[in-house]
Each structure stands twice: as structure tokens, then as C-alpha cells.
Amino acid sequence: MIPQSEYLQRRQRLMAQLPQGSAVLVASGVNQSRGNDTEFPFSQDSDFYYLTGFNEPNAWLYMSNFALNADGSDPSSSQNHHSVLFCQPKDKAMEIWHGLRLGVEQACDALLVDEAMEIDDLEEALPELLNNHAQVYFLLGSNGDDEALIFSALQVLRSAPKQSKSAPSCIVDLAPVLHEMRLIKSAAEIQVMQKAADISCEAHKRAMLYAKPGVYEYQLEGEILHEFVMSGARTPAYNTIVGSGVNACILHYTNNHSALKDGDLVLIDAGANYQGYAADITRTFPANGKFTEEQATLYNLVLQSQLQAMEILVPGGTFKQATDKAVEIICTGLIELGILSGSLEDNVKNMTWRAFFMHGLGHWLGLNVHDVGMYKINGEDRPLQPGMVLTVEPGIYIDHDADVEDKWKGIGIRIEDNILITEQGNVVLTAAVPKTIADIEALMAQR
Ligand code: GLY
Ligand code: MN
Ligand code: MN
């Protein structure tokens, strides 16, 4: 559990980085209708959550470092900004139908903000809150309705009589500075992410133990979701992928409607959302518990490429260097097996391997499964730093129509782990789920 004091510290750190006279606005998520009086499970906006830890819809966070810095006080002191939370008011009738609300009266104590107001007062309050600021920061392009509200407040200021008010002349995207913060995880975030990973590892083991020919892919999904929920992770971090046989070659397959067949591999890509944070694990295993020779050969190729890529994913290393290594190993193996032909150099240069490994090696992981943060800085691949969490997920996918020997067709393999970059190198957060052929077969032998 991340303490409220950490959310306050994040707001302070953010405001300390912005020039004096800055206002910041961040909106919460809203409920999404799924038709007549029902809604999809609420999913909070991850930027809003990162700054507040508040999990209700229809809320806005406002921060200003104007008033408190105008007197020359230290902008990095604990009092470096003024914050206002706009939220839903307490309302007995609404709470009987939809659940309890924090309410305006409780918000300051619960969320450590300076002021709280009703969300219905936002539109009227906004011009005065932005008045006299030099710049306003918000997440550009994320929500047209929110932007319209801000632009209309600016228009109110610009059209004030005799220029009695002053609108910010500068509109700045909040994403670069906020997302750079989110990219480096705190000790508390790492604890929560380890828990998301642990729950997800148990879920993958549970699915391996349940799998056998005749079981439906959606039943394995059920086993996964059962483990998530029973461990306190109410929702998956993304739609669970269970692809058996050639279905594993569909990268974001979520139909999950086929029955497992004897001799098939099963690819499961599933991760829990625990306290807002995602895990993202893929394992590929045989439906009957024993890899065939062809499956084992390709599996070990993917595994080697992952293990060697991970050695590069340490402070100072880059995604590009690790990808090059994984590609070199996959290409070398595919040439040896006759799946690719020609020299390693030509295959790498002509990207022939893209026919079999058509996605990236990995991505940032955090509140979003594909988390925020820049991959390049000034066009250059950025060196990894301690505190970053990322996935490492090479794969080989050979569809039925591939121009290869029949024995390779219908095999899709991905192996995906989550790693934390540390001073010493990296830590695999998802090491608890079997990954070698021997370990997978040993677990499945217990069925
Ligand atoms: N689960 C989506 C991904 O691996 O990126
Ligand atoms: Mn995944
Ligand atoms: Mn992933």
C-alpha cells in the first residue's frame, strides 16, 4: 500500500520542477457506460492516480506554485504549492445506488490536499484559479472535453473588462515531466509491483496445473482470473490471452474459445492489476505436459534470446542493444534450423526475422501495462537507470502459411518476464513461474 504521504511528495516534486507561476490541471477518469444503466468496471486515469491515490471518477486536481513562490520562498520546500481537489459531494441518494464517496469534507485529511471543492463548481472556479499564472500545464490531447473546459476558462480571463485579469500565455504539455517521474519507481511502488508479479506467477502456475487436452482456452482464463481475485487483484491489467496451437501466433488473441489439443503448445499472456499496478507475464507450455522435439528446439531459442537480452538490460544498457542481441540469437537459430537461409549478416540487415518475431522486445511497465516514459532522448536510445521496470518478451511465431517445413507450422512461443533495473544489474520480479523446459514439465507432471 502506497502511503498518502508519498502522493503528496510526488506533487511536491512535480511542482518543484515547474517554473514559478505554473498551474497544473489533471482530470480523473470517468465511468464508461456499457448500455442501459450499467457501466464497465471503473478504471482510474493513471496520471491522476499517480498524483492523488484517489480512486473515484469525476474529480480534478489543481496545483499552483504561484502564490507561495511569489514571496521568494524556496520552491522545493514542503510548502511549494497550493492544491485543490474537486470531487463528487456526499449525496445520500447517489451513495445508496452507487457506493460511498469520499466527499469534500473528508478530502483534505484523506488526500493531504490544501482545499477541496465540489466538482460541479469546477467550471466557475477555473478562471480565478488560472488567473495571473504564466503557464498552465495539462495532458495535451488526452481528452477533448477537459481541454474545452480549460480553453473556455482562458477565454473568460482574456475577455475580462479592461484587462483586469491575466490569462496564462503559455500552455504546456504535462506529460514529459510527469511521465519521467512515473518511469522511475519508488521503493513503495516496487513493493506493490512485486506483489502484482507474485499474484500473476501463482496464476500462471495454476493454469499450467489445470491444462490438459480438451480444456478450453477460456477455462484457463478462468483459472487465471480466479487466482487474481482470490489474491486481492480484482481485475487483470489487460485482457488475458490464452492461445493454443496456431492461435498463439495472433499476438493479441483474446477470443480464447478453442479447446486445447494434444500436441499443441499453449501461450498464456496474463498479468494482474494490483492496487493500480500491472504485471505482464507470458509463458508457453505443452497442453499435454511434454514438449515435442520441434517445440523444444524453438522454445530454447526464445529462452536463450531472452536470457541473453536480460544480461544487457542493466544500468547503461539500452533496449536497442538488447534487441540486437535477441535478434542475433533468434536469427542464428532460425538459419541453423533451415527456417531462414543465407548469412546472419544479411538476415539481420534485411530484417527477415520480422516474419517470425514481429513485435518489440519489451516496454515500460507500471500503472499502465504499456507504461509511460520516453524510449529515446533526442533521437538516441536512452540508457537504462535503476528504478525502471520493464518487460522482456521475445517470441517466435510460425503461422500455417509460412514458407517453412511443415513440422514448424502452427508453433507460437513467447516468454515474457518483468524486470527491475537496480544499481547492481536487474532483478526478475516474475522468476517464480517455471520457465525452463525441465521446470515446466516437472510442474505439469504434478497434475
Ligand atoms: N500483454 C501485452 C504485452 O505483452 O505487451
Ligand atoms: Mn504480455
Ligand atoms: Mn508485454
Q: Which three cell numbers stand for residue 434?
A: 517455471
Catalytic residue among 56, 223, 264, 269: 269
3-state helix, strand, coil in the chain (%, to 5): 40, 20, 40
Average pLDDT over residues 216-220: 98
Burial zone of 399 (CB within 10 Å; 0-12 exposed, 13-18 middle, 19+ buried): middle
Mean pLDDT taken over the chain: 95
Q: What is the pLDDT of residue 80?
A: 87
- With pLDDT > 90 as the criterion, what percentage of the chain qualifies? 94
Tell me the residue type at 113: V
CA of 369 to the centre of ligand 2 (A): 8
Q: Which three cell numbers stand for residue 175?
A: 506529460
Site to probe by mutation for ligand 1, drawn from 251, 357, 393, 430 as the one with most ligand atoms within 8 Å of Cβ, is 393
Q: Tell which residue, 234, 309, 266, has the closest CA to residue 440.
A: 266
Maximum C-alpha span of the chain: 82
Question: pLDDT category, 71, cuts 50, 70, 90?
Answer: low
CA of 347 to the centre of ligand 2 (A): 27
Question: pLDDT category, 69, cuts 50, 70, 90?
Answer: very low
Question: pLDDT category, 162, cuts 50, 70, 90?
Answer: confident
Q: What is the pLDDT of residue 415?
A: 98
Catalytic residue among 37, 345, 380, 401: 37
pLDDT tens digit string along 244-284?
999 999 999 999 999 999 999 999 999 999 999 999 999 99
Ligand 1 in contact with 269 (CB < 6 A)?
Answer: yes
CA of 363 to the centre of ligand 3 (A): 6
pTM listed for this prediction: 0.95
How far, in Å, CA of 350 to CA of 158, rounded? 56
Q: What is the pLDDT of residue 68?
A: 52
pLDDT tens digit string along 28-68?
999 999 999 899 999 999 999 999 999 999 999 999 997 55
Closest Cα to atom 3 of ligand 1: 280
For residue 329, which phi and psi values (nearest 5 degrees)? -70, -45
Known active-site residue 382: no
How far, in Å, CA of 236 to CA of 42, rounded? 13
DSSP annotation of 378 reads T
Average pLDDT over residues 168-179: 97
Q: What is the pLDDT of residue 406?
A: 96
Tell me the residue type at 83: S
Known active-site residue 324: no
CA of 38 to the centre of ligand 1 (A): 28
Average pLDDT over residues 337-346: 97
| 73 has a pLDDT exceeding 70 | no
The answer to whether 326 and 394 have CB atoms below 8 angstroms apart is: yes
DSSP secondary structure letters along 55-72: --SS-EEEEE-HHHHHTT
Q: What is the pLDDT of residue 72?
A: 54
How far, in Å, CA of 110 to CA of 375, rounded? 35
pLDDT tens digit string along 351-406?
999 999 999 999 999 999 999 999 999 999 999 999 999 999 999 999 999 999 99
Burial zone of 425 (CB within 10 Å; 0-12 exposed, 13-18 middle, 19+ buried): middle
Catalytic residue among 13, 34, 370, 447: 370
Known active-site residue 198: no
How far, in Å, CA of 29 to CA of 105, rounded? 21
Q: Point out which residues pair with 422 in neighbouring strands.
A: 425
Average pLDDT over residues 290-314: 98
Give the CA-trace dihedral at 71, 73, 78, 81, to 10 degrees. 40
